[in-house]
């Protein structure tokens, strides 16, 4: 199997379970050396990050664990330093770490609000700032953020959660513009999957997106791997939906009339070769 990410170094926050675990395994399968970051532990007390590292190593990949929290600036710096210390560089940052504290705004405590902001917004910023400082001299890098359709179509009352997810989309758009001239791309995934954080998918949201045929979180990973490749070097500032075999490239908000979402479905998981063909066509790009 051709390893399109051989020689690359990647960091996956929240990589110990769910979507993050699938991404870490997929990046490693494509040859990337991976820092698996997670503060979580299993029922037996073992580190979730350590478990995923063991999976990667058993498959002859290269990986190390990071147990720092994304919710502090020092934690973000330590996570990226784990990559540069062990692998010499950082080429790919995937910000999947998140939490969920759901309540109507009138019932949301200051502690709940601060926790959501710290993990989602500060967590994206802390790791991204540290990674960008390494990527700028390289004049290359891939940053893939994780938001949610819940930013605008949350099916249950939790405006604080929606707010931080919408903030990630704004961060993505602005950062992509800021870093484009430096060869660093920034994109955002809005996934759909059954995960430890959201174990129960109840059906379509208000955006009319169909329910994906497979809720496995590993189906989100191929889109992330594609965005990390050299072939995706001109794709930046985009919002992608990924779930099951479904892929959607969202029209950017606040643009003039005429933009439209494009949904593409296949049976089964997307392959990297298929995404290399489909995504540029949908975006109207030429390479």
In a domain, 1, yes or no: no
Q: With contact defined as beta carbons under 8 Å apart, do 28 and 62 qualify?
A: yes
What pLDDT shows up at residue 259? 64
Q: Is the pLDDT of residue 163 over 90?
A: yes
In a domain, 2, yes or no: no
Q: Which H helix or E strand runs over 243?
A: strand 239-243
What pLDDT shows up at residue 286? 46
Q: Which H helix or E strand runs over 9?
A: strand 9-13
Q: Is the pLDDT of residue 96 over 70?
A: yes
In a domain, 3, yes or no: no
In a domain, 202, yes or no: yes
* 161 catalytic per annotation: yes
How far does CA 287 lie from the centroid of its chain? 25
Positive or negative: CA dihedral 208, 212, 216, 218: negative
Q: CATH number of the domain that 202 lies in?
A: 3.40.50.720
Of 161, 226, 239, 250, catalytic = 161
Tell me if the pTM is above 0.95: no
Q: In this predicted model, what pLDDT tens digit does every residue of 56-84 receive, in sequence order?
A: 999 999 999 999 999 999 999 999 999 99
Number of domains forming the structure of the chain: 1
Q: In this predicted model, what pLDDT tens digit does every residue of 33-58 receive, in sequence order?
A: 999 999 999 888 899 999 999 999 99
What pLDDT shows up at residue 206? 58
Q: Is the pLDDT of residue 260 over 80?
A: no
In a domain, 139, yes or no: yes
How far does CA 276 lie from the centroid of its chain? 18
In a domain, 4, yes or no: no
Full domain range(s) for residue 140: 9-283
Q: How confident is the model at residue 284 (pLDDT cuts 50, 70, 90)?
A: confident
In a domain, 274, yes or no: yes
């Amino acid at each position: 199997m051709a390893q399109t990410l051989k020689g690359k170094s990647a960091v996956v926050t929240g990589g110990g379970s769910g979507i993050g675990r699938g991404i870490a395994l997929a990046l490693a399968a494509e040859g990337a050396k991976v820092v698996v970051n997670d503060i979580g532990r299993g029922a037996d007390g073992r580190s979730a990050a350590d478990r995923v590292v063991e999976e990667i190593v058993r498959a002859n990949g290269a990986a190390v664990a990071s147990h720092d929290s994304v919710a502090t600036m020092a934690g973000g710096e330590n996570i990226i330093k784990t990559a540069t210390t062990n692998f010499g560089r950082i080429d790919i940052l995937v910000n999947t770490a998140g939490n969920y504290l759901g309540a109507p705004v009138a019932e949301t405590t200051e502690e709940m609000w601060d926790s959501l902001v710290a993990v989602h917004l500060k967590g994206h910023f802390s790791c991204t700032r540290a990674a960008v400082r390494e990527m700028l001299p390289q004049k290359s890098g891939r940053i893939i953020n994780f938001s949610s359709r819940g930013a605008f179509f949350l099916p249950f009352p939790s405006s604080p959660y929606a707010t931080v997810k919408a903030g990630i989309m704004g961060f993505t758009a602005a950062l992509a513009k800021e870093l484009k001239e430096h060869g660093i791309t920034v994109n955002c995934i809005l996934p759909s999957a059954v995960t430890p954080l959201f174990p129960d998918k109840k059906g379509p949201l208000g955006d009319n997106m169909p329910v994906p045929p497979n809720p496995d979180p590993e189906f989100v990973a191929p889109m992330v791997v594609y965005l990390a490749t050299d072939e995706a070097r001109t794709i930046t500032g985009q919002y992608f939906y990924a779930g099951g075999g479904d892929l959607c490239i969202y029209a950017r908000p606040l643009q003039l009339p005429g933009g439209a979402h494009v949904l593409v479905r296949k049976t089964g998981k997307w392959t990297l070769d298929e995404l290399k063909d489909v995504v540029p066509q949908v975006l109207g790009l030429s390479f």
